[in-house]
Amino acid sequence: MRSATPKVLHRLGGRSMLGHALAAAEGVGPQRVAVVVRHEREKVAAHALEVLPSALLVDQDDVPGTGRAVQCALDALDAKAFAQSVADGVPVGEEGRGAGDGLVGSVVVIAGDVPLLDGDTIGALLDAHHSGGNAVTVLTTEVPDSTGYGRIVRDEATGDVLRIVEHKDASAQEREIREINTSIYAFDAAALRDGLGKVGRDNAQGEVYLPDVLALAREAGGSVRAVLADDPMTVEGVNDRAQLATLGAELNRRVLARWMAAGVTVVDPATTWVDVGVELAEDVTIHPGTQLHGATTIARGAVVGPDTTLTDMEIGEEASVVRTHGSLSVIGAGASVGPFAYLRPGTVLGTNGKIGTFVETKNAEIGEGSKVPHLSYVGDATIGEHTNIGAASVTVNYDGVRKHRTVIGSHARTGADNMFVAPVRVGDGAYTGAGSVIRRDVPAGALAVSAGAQRIIDGWVTKRRPGTPAAEAAEAASGSDRSAALGRQAQVEEAGRTSATEAERPTPPPPSPGVPHLGGPSQHAADNEGPRS
């Protein structure tokens, strides 16, 4: 793979190749699963136990070959079986071994780099193995080009398998065979044990070949047969990045086909990627450019995408998530998210809530019916029910050392461009004015404002920034055509200024009772002549 990552830990469909192999093995309900490790032992062993904590880890020694790998595994399984026999009270002989010594029954051997193999395919192999009373049953398939694969040599009269010949050891006639070995077998434990004890290393690679056991089992009088897999992709292995991409695309195609058959609408399967661990309900709609990863679950009637990536998310019924990147978060039923939202871990959006355009959330609980419509950051916060957060608001949660929490109650209305400097609380039904910095707790039902009166210093740019493009533009606008260049609100203010010089202008009256303007700058000048705090 030309990678610092061990081959079997490369991922497709949300799992490592080893994870796919373990899932397939678990699909037939085995008594025990053994994982043979050698290259990059620590990484592979740790991942195997993460995926399947009950796995028996087996170290292969320096003797190369698949046969040696299986022999090491069988020795470990025999030891476990013997220990269990002793624990169960089976008599032990003079040499320390008893009648219960060693593994009995069927041993299935699979490779760690066959990611599309599934429990159903292994189950069919085992069924054929048991019904035929075989010593060995090998899973095979046919391919147009068998270069590099082990060839299946059959008895022309019975169809039984005579032997498996590796490509480098095959004759010219044997290289014409299109039926190949998939490296997936079912063995009788006794036949496997006996055959492994006789296998040598007399081959082009100098390895202990597991396929050599088949010929030895046949010589010992056992039946050796094959089960042909109709779909070569199911049993195809991965040896490079190109094959990984090919099988990843095929796996995704199969996953999408399964969900579409179950009632999910996938508008464009070519641009939609869904991991094997994702769960989708009926009548979910997935739009183009969507990627669903990990343990994401999407409930009935929800619409996701386009251009959305969700990892380990929970999406409620009838929710809508558009052009959003999210992870480890929960979206309630009927809620809407996006476009262009970023949901970081710990976000919980209540039923019928809204997280809108260019909003980032993290570790935030947003109650039922509450809205954060646009251009805001809500981190380390709790927002009650049916509250509206004004545009361009920020919960200022970090003091340079620790994170602090903002709590905003239910039915609150916060103005645009608010900074909530945590830790701070805003009570139920409270209002805050536009442009306010909320540093102290706001009681329920109160109005909090912190913006001062607007000041205008005429001529500041031409005096303090002479020679700049801004100063030149200001000087050009100061001529006879200045009024024509001004907007309506600015013209009104200009007319007021020309009626008196700054020295003669009367002192403005003190603030009068009333509700200050909470909106943005799009109001008329008369709206801005109200009370100030």
Tell me, yes or no, if 374 is annotated catalytic. Answer: yes
Rounded distance between C-alpha atoms, residue 139 and residue 123, angstroms: 11
* Residue 93, number of CB atoms within 10 A of its CB: 9
Rounded distance between C-alpha atoms, residue 267 and residue 108, angstroms: 40
Contact 76, 34 (CB under 8 A): yes
Sign of CA dihedral 467, 473, 474, 480: positive
In our burial notation (b when 16+ CB lie closer than 10 A, e otherwise), range 58-90 reads bebeeeebbbbbbbbbbebbbeebbeebbeeee
How open is the CA angle 214-220-225, to the nearest 5 degrees? 40
3-state SS, 3-71, equals: CCCCHHHCEECCEEHHHHHHHHHHCCCCCCCEEEEECEHHHHHHHHHHHCCCCEEEECCCCCCHHHHHH
Residue 182 tokens read as 């998939």
Contact 2, 93 (CB under 8 A): no
Which of 272, 268, 301, 296 has its CA nearest to residue 284?
301
Which of 261, 307, 306, 253 has its CA nearest to residue 280?
261
Q: What is the DSSP string of 100-120?
A: T-S--SEEEE--TT-TT--HH
Report the C-alpha dihedral over residues 44, 47, 48, 54, rounded to 10 degrees. 140
Backbone angles phi, psi at 51, to 5 degrees: -75, -45
Rounded distance between C-alpha atoms, residue 450 and residue 435, angstroms: 7
Rounded distance between C-alpha atoms, residue 419 and residue 415, angstroms: 10
Residue 315: strand pairing partners: 298, 331
Active-site residue, from 287, 293, 374, 517:
374
Helix, strand, coil % over all residues of the chain, rounded to 5: 25, 25, 45
Question: Which residues 6+ apart lie within 8 Å of 394 measured at CB?
Answer: 376, 377, 418, 419, 420
Write out the catalytic residue numbers: 374
